Amino acid sequence: RAVVSGWYGMASVKWLTRVVVTDSVFRGYFQTADYTYWGRGEGLPIQLLPVGEVEVKAQISRPALHEVVPANSLYRIHGAAWTGESEVTQVELSMDGARTWVPAQLLAVAPGYGWRLWEHYWRSPALPGRYTLMARATDARGRTQPVERDPHRGAYMISHIQPVEIEVREKPEAVAEGYVI
């Protein structure tokens, strides 16, 4: 298999039997019709562009979707962030539907093209109820993860924020793994 660091891997690319080097853009079906999205190159009109470099993205690992978190407790929110041919420089979290953002702590520097792990210790609300957590990343090129999905990208380049709804309870039946005593 061919792996190109910093670029999206496409559906079921199988074993290579040969490599052809060209001095122009290859115009095969998958590069011009299937693995494409509607976009705008610099100074160009909207057109079909090939899927290429990985977009900047952060994802929450814990708490998991619909996880129960103890009320008024210190909880470790953590996850990973990545980008294409750049470096993740910031991850932020929102607990109020993207109205406000707080910085997460970036952990060890990732090797080239690797995931950047992050964490944030959050005091969960004293008031029980459902809450929505969001994470977003920014890279060294100034690209910030979008809040909403770009409908022109079809099923490719899904880099928008994935909200994680949790439930805060006064006395949960089981203590969540991220709970800090």
Q: What is the pLDDT of residues 89-126, one digit of tens each?
A: 999 999 998 999 999 999 988 888 889 999 999 999 99
Note the maximum CA span of the chain: 65
Residue-level pLDDT at 11: 61
User: Rounded to whole angstroms, how far apart are CA atoms 57 and 135?
Assistant: 9
- The arithmetic mean of pLDDT across residues 3-22, rounded, is 76
Q: Where residue 51 falls among pLDDT bands split at 50, 70, 90?
A: confident
Please report, to the nearest 10 degrees, the dihedral formed by the alpha carbons of residues 153, 158, 161, 162 taken in order: 120
Angle, CA 60 vertex, CA 134 and CA 70 arms, to 5°: 80
Do 124 and 168 meet the contact criterion of CB atoms below 8 Å apart? yes
28-42, 52-66, 93-107, 124-138: least confidently modelled range: 28-42
Q: Indicate whether 177 pLDDT > 80.
A: no
Render pLDDT for 141-167 as a digit per residue (tens, 0 to 9): 999 999 998 887 777 788 999 999 999
Task: Name the E strands within the chain.
Answer: 36-40, 46-50, 57-62, 68-70, 74-82, 88-94, 102-103, 105-106, 116-123, 129-139, 164-169
Q: Which of 14, 17, 12 is nearest to 35 (CA)?
A: 12
Q: In the chain, pLDDT over 70 holds for what percent of residues?
A: 90
What are the chain's domains?
57-169 (2.60.40.650)
Single-letter residue type at 84: G
